[in-house]
Amino acid sequence: MIRGALRIGFGTASLLAGGWLVRALRGTPAALGAGPTEIERVAQRSPNYRDGVFVNLEPASMMSIDAEQQRLLVRELIGSRGAARPDGTIPVVTPSPTEPASTRASACWFGHSSVLIEVDGYRVLADPVWSRRCSPSQTVGPERMHEVPAPLEALAAVDAVVISHDHYDHLDMETIAGLARTQRAPFVVPLGIGAHLRKWGIPDSRIVELDWNESYTIGELTLVCTPARHFSGRVFSRNTTLWASWVIIGPRHRAFFGGDTGYTKSFAQIGMDHGPFDLTLLPVGAYHPAWPDIHMNPEEAVRAHLDVAESERGLLVPIHWATFRLAPHPWAEPVERLLRAADAEKVRLAVPKPGQRVSPDAASPPDPWWRF
């Protein structure tokens, strides 16, 4: 069961429990996105696409446990429900829609991996998910544990929307449709994801698809699609679209958005090619020994930060935690481990509340708002 769950992405793993999959998907075919044949034409131009699928630069094991260990993992997921949720109400900050974009570097974290990144007056919205569930169904699937800090309609105009990959906790059909109505920015995505967007009615003129190490320029802002170590798939097929991290470069400042990834040697190369970064946004949650290559743990996030940013200059902001329950570890464990690891390496760290804006220039020691 777990191996099947991983085939459709962590954002929909719980759909398999109790045989809900067919019922949950009934009436929601649009959310599944494009099929492999619709994606293949674009994917074939990439050297990272082989035998019908995209591949990691470093091999990544999807599961490293046998059948008995899988059964133990299922019991762990079920038995840890209490610890995997907060003991109190997660505080949410309502961001100001009229605040001008930072002329340096800043980030407003909306929960999980959804973040508004500001560099030199430009705004980039990364992995926006505003739906109640990260799932092809709004009936079953992981449900958010805090409110969205602001409605889509309240967001200031952004210059680009970037997507790391097509799992449901990073690419949400309803949110994309909402942004298409309320924003004019292009959707800058890894190869293949454009087929999903076209399926949802996004015009070609607003879609930019990039392979690893390709870039797109908007004025003085450059977006670089960089490697990650992960996988893709929305239900029935896997790895037909590319996954990526993103480099965001302004005229004077730069940020790195890790998206969703395991630790990879590519971070060091990204740091050499595009760093050092003023701001890094790196995933710290949903890790487990059963899938060590595709999700970083907090200590690996600190290591990745050191690969791409100078510790005395760059500010690390954790993402991919707090909003959706995607692994059995205790809810606050990622940030507690991150605090210890960052302190040991003297890495500057900010842990914003959902909706809170942080910047390297005004960073202060984290307020432990997650301790109830």
| Cβ–Cβ < 8 Å for 114, 178 | no
Q: Rounded CA gap, 242 and 210, in Å?
A: 9
C-alpha triplet 359, 108, 138: angle, nearest 5°: 160
| Cβ–Cβ < 8 Å for 181, 175 | no
Q: Which CATH superfamily is domain 1-372 in?
A: Ribonuclease Z/Hydroxyacylglutathione hydrolase-like (3.60.15.10)
- Give the closest residue to 155 by CA, choosing from 212, 75, 98, 238: 98
- Give the closest residue to 62 by CA, choosing from 134, 16, 4: 4
Confidence of residue 363 (pLDDT cuts 50, 70, 90): confident
- Give the closest residue to 112 by CA, choosing from 317, 372, 363, 336: 317
**Higher per-residue pLDDT: 240 or 21:** 240
Q: Rounded CA gap, 335 and 299, in Å?
A: 10
Helices of type H across 171-265:
173-182, 193-199
C-alpha triplet 247, 251, 253: angle, nearest 5°: 55
Whether the predicted pLDDT of 75 surpasses 50: yes
| Cβ–Cβ < 8 Å for 327, 85 | no
Crossing angle of helices 333-345 and 298-308, in 10° steps, is 40
Q: Which residue has the tokens 């605090």?
A: 339
Cis peptide bond N-terminal to 251, omega within 30? no
How far from the centroid of its chain's Cα atoms is residue 102's Cα? 22
Bridge partners (DSSP) of residue 133 are: 143
Q: Rounded CA gap, 290 and 61, in Å?
A: 9
Confidence of residue 21 (pLDDT cuts 50, 70, 90): low
Compute the mean pLDDT over every residue in the chain, rounded to the nearest whole number. Answer: 89
188: helix, strand or coil = strand
The domain segmentation of the chain, as residue ranges, is 1-372
pLDDT at 8: 37
| Cβ–Cβ < 8 Å for 239, 7 | no
How far from the centroid of its chain's Cα atoms is residue 290's Cα? 20
Q: Rounded CA gap, 240 and 231, in Å?
A: 9
| Cβ–Cβ < 8 Å for 120, 103 | yes
Whether the predicted pLDDT of 298 surpasses 70: yes
- 114-156 per-position pLDDT tens digit: 999 999 999 999 999 999 999 998 888 899 999 999 999 999 9
| Cβ–Cβ < 8 Å for 194, 221 | no
7 contacts: CB under 8 Å, gap ≥ 6: 233, 238
Percent of the chain exceeding pLDDT 70 equals: 86
Whether the predicted pLDDT of 371 surpasses 70: yes
Neighbours of 86 (CB within 10 A): 15
Q: Would you report the helix, strand and coil content of the chain in percent, each value rounded to 5?
A: 30, 20, 55
Residue type, position 367, single letter: D
Q: Rounded CA gap, 343 and 346, in Å?
A: 5
- Give the closest residue to 276 by CA, choosing from 251, 256, 302, 303: 256
What is the maximum alpha-carbon separation in the chain?
A: 55
Percent of the chain exceeding pLDDT 90 equals: 78
